[in-house]
């Protein structure tokens, strides 16, 4: 993605490597990969983690409101999700701060689930809904990233140079029409777009009050790690 330098030039800069990712973004990547592997290897009951309106009310299985993003089906879905989390998550965490970014992720996930569930329960004729995967969270992250600098250039790996606003609009068009073609369900569509108000609110709050602190990844002390030392020779010729 593109960044503006202090000199006013626009240069292309990719996301940082694994060792420099902040904690929340790192945790999201790990949880996404673990959820996918848990489903493929059948190590976790994916159906118990997915979101179904009838299991929220009247069954009151409320943990589903936060566990459904772990249910990532398909290798292409998980790779795309990891790529988006890596590309956009670290910048949002640096801008918001680690704790606000974690709250942003949790709020987007829960609000999307509640909105889709409420519409599905109140208007059964509008269509069915089954919540799983990262699509709603990723859409909210892309929109929040675009709102932070709508006119900034976005040149993702040299493909389709455009503004951040244009990239976000393109992503929304793909999400909306893709869902209309596949399910034609209003609750499912609102489930995917439910995080957009959260994105707008967090960006507005950040502009007013500034971002928080970022917690970098801390390496644990390793007694077997090679240490650097300096060789010094004194006047007598001894080496220390």
Which of 229 and 79 is assigned the larger pLDDT?
79
> Rounded to whole angstroms, how far apart are CA atoms 142 and 165?
10
| Residue 196, pLDDT score | 96
Average the pLDDT over 121-134 and give the result.
89
pLDDT at 239: 55
User: What is the model's pLDDT at position 42?
Assistant: 84
Structure-token match 């489930």, residue found: 191
Residue 50 sits at φ, ψ, to 5 deg, of -75, 165
Tell me if the pTM is above 0.75.
yes
- pLDDT category, 224, cuts 50, 70, 90? very low
Extract the runs of DSSP E, i.e. beta strands, from the chain.
2-4, 10-12, 153-156, 159-163
Selected residue with higher pLDDT from 205 and 106: 106
| Residue 46: per-residue pLDDT | 87
pLDDT of residue 143: 96
Over range 20-37, report the average pLDDT: 92
Residue 2 pLDDT > 50: no
**Tokens at residue 138, please?**
């990723």
Q: State the pLDDT at residue 117.
A: 94
Question: pLDDT value at position 220?
Answer: 46
User: What integer pLDDT is reported at residue 187 of this predicted model?
Assistant: 92
Q: Band of the pLDDT at 37, cuts 50, 70, 90?
A: very high
CB distance 94 to 88 below 8 Å: no
Query: Can you say whether residue 209 is alpha, beta or left, with left for phi > 0 and alpha for psi between -120 and 50 degrees?
Result: alpha
Average pLDDT, integer, range 203-225: 61
Higher pLDDT, 112 or 223: 112
Domains of the chain and any CATH numbers: 16-209 (1.20.1540.10)
Q: How confident is the model at residue 207 (pLDDT cuts 50, 70, 90)?
A: confident
Give the CA count within 13 Å in the CB-facing half-sphere of 220.
Answer: 3
The SS3 of residue 63 is: coil
**For residue 178, how many other CB atoms are within 10 A of its CB?**
13
pLDDT of residue 119 exceeding 70: yes
Instruction: Give yes or no for residue 153 having a pLDDT over 80.
Output: yes
Q: What is the pLDDT of residues 98-108, one digit of tens each?
A: 999 999 999 99
């Amino acid at each position: 993605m593109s960044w503006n330098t202090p000199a006013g030039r626009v240069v292309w800069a990719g996301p940082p490597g694994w060792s420099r990712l902040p904690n929340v973004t790192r945790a999201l990547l790990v949880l996404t990969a673990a959820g996918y592997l848990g489903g493929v290897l059948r190590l976790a009951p994916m159906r118990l983690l997915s979101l179904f309106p009838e299991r929220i009310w009247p069954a009151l299985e409320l943990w589903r409101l936060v566990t459904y993003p772990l249910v990532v089906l398909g290798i292409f879905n998980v790779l795309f999700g990891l790529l988006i989390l890596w590309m956009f998550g670290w910048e949002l965490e640096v801008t918001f701060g680690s704790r606000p970014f974690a709250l942003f992720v949790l709020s987007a996930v829960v609000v999307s689930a509640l909105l889709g569930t409420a519409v599905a329960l109140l208007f059964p004729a509008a269509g069915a809904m089954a919540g799983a995967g990262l699509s709603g969270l990723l859409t909210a992250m892309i929109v929040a990233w675009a709102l932070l600098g709508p006119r900034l250039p976005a040149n993702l790996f040299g493909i389709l140079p455009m503004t951040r606003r244009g990239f976000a609009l393109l992503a929304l068009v793909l999400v909306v029409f893709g869902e209309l073609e596949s399910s034609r369900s209003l609750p499912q569509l609102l489930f995917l777009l439910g995080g957009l108000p959260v994105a707008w609110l967090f960006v507005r709050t950040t502009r007013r009050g500034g971002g928080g602190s970022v917690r970098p990844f801390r390496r644990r002390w390793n007694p077997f790690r090679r240490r650097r030392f300096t060789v010094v020779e004194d006047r007598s010729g001894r080496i220390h």
